[in-house]
A and B are shown apart, each in its own frame.
Chain A
Amino acid sequence: MNLDSKVKITAPCSHSLFLDATHLKGCSLSVQKKIWALVERCQASTAFIDVVPAMNSLTVYLVHSDHIRYWQTTLLQWWNTTDIQEHKGTHHKIVTRYGGECGPDLEFIANYHGISASSVIELHMNVTYLVLFLGFQPGFTYLHGLPAELHTPRRSEPRVKVPKGSVAIGADQTSIYPADSPGGWHIIGHTNFSLFDWQNNPPCAIAPGDTLQFISEEALL
């Protein structure tokens, strides 16, 4: 797939632009890497209030709405002249306590797929996940890499409160809840790793392009 093929850039409002590359099917990881490179280029400019990557798309919020036509053209040029760099992200080890009180849905996941709880843990740990982008709530990471054997439909009834640090699986994704919040994903474990702390600078330890690995707490002993 040629990544230089056409992307659409539209204006959701008078001061934002939406670069849509979601139709470049079959190469979503390469598209996402190109988005990261573009994000870097945008962040170096003072023209934007916010630069927000999402799934194979990028939205920029402009300081001056008068410049929107200029940036619509420029972003397209940038897209066509930005190389997919192999992003050198930070690798994070997420020490996780699986099952028991920390992971009340571990057994459910195991039963759903007809495998043992320890197989679920092993499958979940044996992958290096790639951070695609952050969103939904402060510090929430969208990760690439959950093995197909663990894809599980969300809970039919979301929990009112999922505790901060819960490691969970929802559909084809796994992630960590950065704060107490309602949630419909299956909780398989818990980590003390802090994803977001407003008192830190930067407040978020993980960035798009970083890699992440879950490690069982027992494996450390």
Chain B
Amino acid sequence: MIEVLKPGLLMSIQDLGRFGFRHLGVAQSGALDTCAMQLANALLENNKNDAVIEITLGLGKLRFTCNTVIALVGTDMNTQLDDIPIYPGWTYPVKQGQILSFKAAKNGLRGYLAVKGGILCEPVMGSCATDLAAGFGGATGFSLKEGDLIKVKPYDNPWPKRGAILPPKRHVIRIHPSIHADLLTSQTLHSFCATQWYVKPQSNRMGVRLSNENTTLAHSHSLPSLAVSPGSIQLPPNGDPIVLLNDAQTTGGYPLLGTVISADLFHFAQLKPGDTVSFEYVNKQIAEHAQKKIDAHFAQLSIVMNNRGRSLP
């Protein structure tokens, strides 16, 4: 078990998300930084969809009631296991009774804690991801609270020290063209890409809200509700774009500026209020190539891992 001594700003149990229920209004949920989450699982040879703990900002404390191995990937939260510093991107053995404590994130916003064998919880509609708005999934249906006990399978054997790095951060996010180009006009789409956008403090797991006081994309269009999904970029009438993330609603009535390509969406997990981001439209080929590059990165990692595991003394 892992006992939550202090949840900090926000900790929740997430996997790769819930699929196949959007027609009922059920959000995807799931880890926002899928790269960090999958890397953490890969370092422990877990299944790629095994549940992990998503830690936002840090400031929390967890106590292990059994031996295990952990991998913490994502932003550096000045983490310590008792008094040993824990560096993101590496595996560490953990002994029963040890306490993992996080200070505040430095260069990003979210970290992912994977344990050998994954966090154990009953899947709801095919997923262990916590749907924070609707109150189901995860261990309790809610964000982690002080005193929560999270099930993990003890692991007493030695585990090789392993590390891996994440793809570099991108400041220019690649997006698919708008399906509402005619409605929004080329002028609006051009200004959208020519602007450096600031991340607003109201951003959360539902969406990253952007603004720039020198750019106004305000409009008065209202559309019949259409399906939206993580990566959809909405333009509400006030002109401040919203990049929808995993907890976003399934339908919306705002015009869309475009959709973030699947290979770049995870970058939004690490954007803090005040960070800047800009956008460029790309074609389908570039989007596919970018996704293949990420897939190849993970494929390579698992090959290396499998071979190294076997050659260990």
Inter-chain contacts of B133 with A (CB < 8 A): 137, 179, 181
Inter-chain contacts of B20 with A (CB < 8 A): 49-50
Q: Would you give the 0/1 interface string for A31-68, flagging 1 where the beta carbon is closer than 8 Å to chain B?
A: 00000000100000000011111111111010001000
> Which residue of chain A lies nearest to B253 when distances are taken between CB atoms in the complex?
A55
- Are the CB atoms of A136 and B25 closer together than 8 Å? yes
- Select which of A15, A58, A138, A179 is within 8 A of B262 by beta carbon: A15
> Which residue of chain B lies nearest to A202 when distances are taken between CB atoms in the complex?
B24
Inter-chain contacts of B261 with A (CB < 8 A): 13-14
- Are the CB atoms of B24 and A204 closer together than 8 Å? yes
A208 to B225, CA, bound (A): 15
Shortest distance in angstroms between A29's beta carbon and chain B's nearest beta carbon? 13
Say yes or no: is A16 at the interface (Cβ < 8 Å to chain B).
yes
A203 to B136, CA, bound (A): 12
A interface bracket (residues with beta carbon within 8 Å of B): 35 or more
Say yes or no: is A12 at the interface (Cβ < 8 Å to chain B).
yes
Say yes or no: is A79 at the interface (Cβ < 8 Å to chain B).
no
Say yes or no: is A133 at the interface (Cβ < 8 Å to chain B).
yes
Among B30-85, those with CB < 8 Å from A are none
Among A117-159, those with CB < 8 Å from B are 133-140, 142
- Select which of A16, A39, A54, A139 is within 8 A of B24 by beta carbon: A139
What are 16 A-B pairs with beta-carbon distances under 8 A? Answer: A13-B262, A16-B259, A18-B179, A22-B224, A55-B224, A133-B225, A136-B250, A137-B25, A137-B133, A137-B134, A139-B24, A181-B133, A202-B24, A203-B24, A203-B26, A204-B24
Main secondary structure of the interface of A (DSSP, over half): strand
Inter-chain contacts of B259 with A (CB < 8 A): 12-13, 16
The interface centre, meaning the residue of A12, A14, A203 with most chain B CB atoms within 10 A of its CB, is A12
| Count of chain B residues with a beta carbon within 8 Å of a chain A beta carbon | 38
Say yes or no: is A196 at the interface (Cβ < 8 Å to chain B).
yes
Inter-chain contacts of B250 with A (CB < 8 A): 52, 135-136
Inter-chain contacts of B284 with A (CB < 8 A): 11, 14
Q: Would you give the 0/1 interface string for A105-127, flagging 1 where the beta carbon is closer than 8 Å to chain B?
A: 00000000000000000000000
Say yes or no: is B251 at the interface (Cβ < 8 Å to chain A).
yes
- Select which of B25, B124, B179 is within 8 A of A12 by beta carbon: B179
Inter-chain contacts of B231 with A (CB < 8 A): 13
A11 to B284, CA, bound (A): 10
Please name 19 further chain A to chain B contacts, defined as beta carbons within 8 Å, in addition to the given A12-B232, A50-B19, sorted by A numbering: A11-B176, A12-B179, A13-B231, A14-B291, A15-B262, A16-B259, A18-B179, A50-B20, A50-B22, A59-B226, A59-B227, A65-B288, A138-B21, A138-B27, A138-B131, A196-B24, A196-B25, A198-B136, A204-B25
Shortest distance in angstroms between B176's beta carbon and chain A's nearest beta carbon? 5
Inter-chain contacts of A58 with B (CB < 8 A): 227
> Which residue of chain A lies nearest to B178 when distances are taken between CB atoms in the complex?
A12
Q: Would you give the 0/1 interface string for A80-97, flagging 1 where the beta carbon is closer than 8 Å to chain B?
A: 000000000000000000
- Are the CB atoms of B134 and A52 closer together than 8 Å? no
A56 to B133, CA, bound (A): 27
- Are the CB atoms of B134 and A18 closer together than 8 Å? no
- Select which of B19, B225, B287 is within 8 A of A135 by beta carbon: B225
> Which residue of chain A lies nearest to B260 when distances are taken between CB atoms in the complex?
A13
Say yes or no: is B310 at the interface (Cβ < 8 Å to chain A).
no
Closest 6 CB pairs of A and B: A135-B251, A59-B227, A55-B224, A52-B227, A198-B136, A13-B259
Inter-chain contacts of A179 with B (CB < 8 A): 133-135
A22 to B179, CA, bound (A): 13
> Which residue of chain A lies nearest to B223 when distances are taken between CB atoms in the complex?
A22
Among B240-281, those with CB < 8 Å from A are 249-251, 256, 259, 261-262
